[in-house]
Amino acid sequence: MKFSIYRFNPEKDEKPYMQDFDVTLQPTDRMLLDAILRIKAMDDSLGLRKSCREGVCGSDGMNINGKNGLACITALKDLKEPVVLRPLPGLPVIRDLIVDMSQFFKQYHSVKPYLITETPPPQKERLQSPEDREELNGLYECVLCACCSTSCPSFWWNPDKFVGPAGLLQAYRFIADTRDEATSERLDNLEDPYRLFRCHTIMNCADVCPKGLNPTEAIGKIKEQMVKRMV
């Protein structure tokens, strides 16, 4: 199978280039990650992150034939050749397919992604109805792979000011949690021309999320809550 892979080693290369590989696959190679590892066995200098190989750790986000995704759960049979692999767009490249995620995590941290409560907790668990718990479905499952944020034009232009879809999804995860007691503080934190309102509902994010989550919808709900509290 034919591949064309983005290469850049800052110690050697003045600028990035695309390198072609032709690799013989085994019948057990099902996912893109399997193929990349065959390539890496031939050329150990190819840099990428990987860990769980089952789509739950979020390590191997990359741009695959023009679309962001996780290599370990992208089936080879669905890919057109040559398979073009590039690092996630919009973030500084450290090496090959490895990008610097600092900006992405900074935005994630900026939404205070943890439960905030004033009321002291009870002896046992806080109670929450199954219906209220269901509100968190489609939010808490995020694996922080950055596929969404790095496909969002608004994030490309303003990675320092716009929280981006992944961060906003998590912001809403805590707004939606009936146990959290900081909703208005959270909304204040986002009430800003950039942090939330740079989202122009372009939907790229929901389109690429390998976990099938929908940041656009969550962003919509945050906006709704802002409107609600104004009236």
Partner 1 sequence: MALPKQTFDAVIVGGGGSGLRAALQLSEAGHHVAVFSKVFPTRSHTVAAQGGIGASLGNMQEDHWLWHMYDTIKGSDYLGDQDAIEFMCRKAAEVVYELEHFGMPFDRNADGTIYQRPFGGHSQNFGERPVQRACAAADRTGHAMLHTLYQRNVRARCQFFVEWMALDLIRDHEGAVVGLIALEMETGQVVIFQTKSVILATGGAGRIFQSSTNAFINTGDGLGIAARAGIPLEDMEFWQFHPTGVAGAGVLITEGVRGEGGILLNAQGERFMERYAPTMKDLASRDVVSRAMDQEIKEGRGVGHEKDHVLLKLDHLGAEVIQKRLPGIREIALKFANVDPIREPIPVVPTCHYQMGGIPTNYYGQVVVPRGDNPAEPVPGLYAIGECACVSVHGANRLGTNSLLDLLVFGKSAGDHLSQWLKGNPQQRDLPKDAADRTLARLDRLNQATTGENVAEVGLDMRRAVQQHAGVFRTGQLLSEGIDKIRVIAERARHTAIQDKSQVFNTARIEALELENLVIVAEATLVSAEARTESRGAQARDDFKERDDRNWLKHSLWSMEGSRLHYKPVNLQPLTVESFEPKVRVY
Q: For the window 156-185, what string marks contact with ligand SF4 as x by the rule CB under 6 A?
A: ---------xx--x----------------
The answer for residues whose C-beta is within 8 angstroms of residue 156's C-beta and 6 or more apart is 89, 90, 150
Buried b (16+ CB within 10 A) or exposed e, 107-120: bbeebeeeeeeeee
What are the start-end ranges of the E strands in 17-159?
17-22, 61-64, 67-70, 83-86, 93-95, 98-99
Residue with tokens 């057109």: 80
Within 46-65, the residues that bind ligand SF4 by CB under 6 A are none
200 near ligand SF4, rule: CB under 6 A:
yes
> Among ligand FES, partner 1, ligand SF4, none, what binds residue 23 when CB lies within 5 to 8 Å by partner kind?
none
SS3 183: helix
Binds partner 1 by CB under 8 A, chosen from 56, 79, 202, 226: 56
- Residue closer to ligand SF4 by CB (options 7, 211) is 211
Q: For residue 203, is it left (φ>0), alpha (ψ between -120 and 50) or beta?
A: left
> Among ligand SF4, partner 1, ligand FES, none, what binds residue 14 when CB lies within 5 to 8 Å by partner kind?
none
> Among partner 1, ligand SF4, ligand FES, none, what binds residue 69 when CB lies within 5 to 8 Å by partner kind?
none
148 near ligand SF4, rule: CB under 6 A:
yes
Instruction: Report the candidate in 1, 127, 4 with the shortest Cα–Cα distance to residue 65.
Output: 4
72 near ligand FES, rule: CB under 6 A:
yes
> CB of residue 14 vs ligand SF4: minimum separation in angstroms?
32
Interatomic CA distance for residues 120 and 68, integer angstroms: 42
Query: What kind and span of H or E run contains 4?
Result: strand 2-7
> CB of residue 212 vs ligand SF4: minimum separation in angstroms?
8
Interatomic CA distance for residues 39 and 76, integer angstroms: 14
> Among ligand SF4, ligand FES, partner 1, none, what binds residue 184 when CB lies within 5 to 8 Å by partner kind?
none
Interatomic CA distance for residues 72 and 33, integer angstroms: 5
- Residue closer to ligand SF4 by CB (options 67, 229) is 67
52 near ligand FES, rule: CB under 6 A:
yes
Which residues here bind ligand SF4, judged by CB under 6 A?
A: 142-148, 152, 154, 165-166, 169, 199-205, 209, 211, 213, 215-216, 219
Which residues here bind ligand FES, judged by CB under 6 A?
A: 50-53, 55-60, 70, 72
